Amino acid sequence: MRVRVLGSAAGGGFPQWNCNCRNCAGLRDGSVRIRARTQSSIAAADNDAAAWALVNASPDILTQLRANPDLQRGEALRDTAIASDPHVAEAYLSVTLAHLGEVEQALAAADAANRAKSEFLANMSSL
């Protein structure tokens, strides 16, 4: 099974539209070099990655697909690597739920890495 973290930020992504903390404000005004993040979402697939199931798809899906072009191959007029058969998605989600602990660990690790990077960059920019 493959799990890809598509986004790791809280709802609305990062920077938060209504937040003026040093990181959010710094990203908006360019004074802090931090990468924007999209809302938490994962894609899960069997090991052959022929079809992916989305978990917690959000309004950020277009940005997330652009960052993961193999999920949107564009080989036909209406084409995607995201499973349209609900049974396929259901099977993946069953596997995903069985591995929920691993998924949560992956999301937590991605979030911790992004937080550490943000803090590091914020500290570097204040020197």
Our CB check for Zn ion shows the closer of 26 and 83 to be 26
CA-CA-CA-CA dihedral for 42, 56, 69, 89, to nearest 10: 90
Would you tell me how many other CB atoms lie within 10 Å of the CB of residue 20? Answer: 11
Member of 4, 5, 19, 68 binding Zn ion (CB under 5 A): 19
Locus of tokens 């539209």? 17
What is the size of the binding site for Zn ion (CB under 5 A)?
Answer: 3
State the nearest-atom distance from the C-beta of 115 to Zn ion, in Å.
Answer: 12
For Zn ion, the binding residues in 34-73 under the rule CB under 5 A are none
Determine, following the binding rule CB under 5 A, whether residue 9 of this chain makes contact with Zn ion. Answer: no
* Binding residue for Zn ion, selected from 3, 6, 9, 24, defined by CB under 5 A: 24
Of the pair 17, 87, the CB lying nearest Zn ion is at 17
**Ramachandran angles phi, psi of 9, nearest 5°:** -95, 165
Q: Which residues bind Zn ion (CB under 5 A)?
A: 19, 21, 24
